[in-house]
Amino acid sequence: DAKTTQPNSMESNEEEPVHLPCNHSTISGTDYIHWYRQLPSQGPEYVIHGLTSNVNNRMASLAIAEDRKSSTLILHRATLRDAAVYYCILRIAHSGGSNYKLTFGKGTLLTVNP
C-alpha cells in the first residue's frame, strides 16, 4: 500500500489559516487522496478528497501538487473546534474488496490556541 507521511503535530492560532502537509511520494495514478479528522473521543470524520485537481468544500480546501507526491489540507480560519487529529490517506480507486480499505497512519495532531 502506498504510504503517507505527516508531521506528528502542528499548532495554530484561532482565526488564522492552517496548512497541514502530507507527503505521498509512492502514490499511483489511481490513488485518491482522502483527508479525515478525529475530534477527541469521536469517530473519524470525512473532510475532503481529490485525485489531481485542487478541491474546495465547506470544511476545507485540498491543494494537490502537480506531481501528486504531496498535498496540503487548508483550513482557512481555524477555530477551537478544529483541534483534532488529521489523517491523510490514499484510497485505491479500483473496485475489489481489499481496495476499499482505508489504511490509517498516526496523523497530525492539530492544536488551536485561543
Partner 1 sequence: NAGVTQTPKFQVLKTGQSMTLQCAQDMNHEYMSWYRQDPGMGLRLIHYSVGAGITDQGEVPNGYNVSRSTTEDFPLRLLSAAPSQTSVYFCASYPLGTVSYGYTFGSGTRLTVV
What does the alpha-carbon distance between residue 56 and residue 38 come to, in Å, rounded to a whole number? 20
Q: How far is the CB of 43 from partner 1 (least distance, A)?
A: 4
Q: Which residues contact 103 (CB under 8 A, 6 or more apart)?
A: 1, 3, 89, 90
Point out which span in 12-20, 36-44, 60-68, 70-78 binds partner 1 (CB under 8 A).
Answer: 36-44
Question: Binding pattern to partner 1, positions 71-110, x when CB under 8 A?
Answer: ----------------x-----x-x-xx-xxxxxxxx---
CA neighbor of 32 nearest in space, from 74, 77, 2, 66: 2
- Considering only residues 38 to 57 of the shown chain, the ones binding partner 1 according to CB under 8 A are 42-49, 51
Single out the residue of 24, 34, 64, 82 in contact with partner 1 (rule: CB under 8 A): 34
Helix locations, 1-114, DSSP H: none
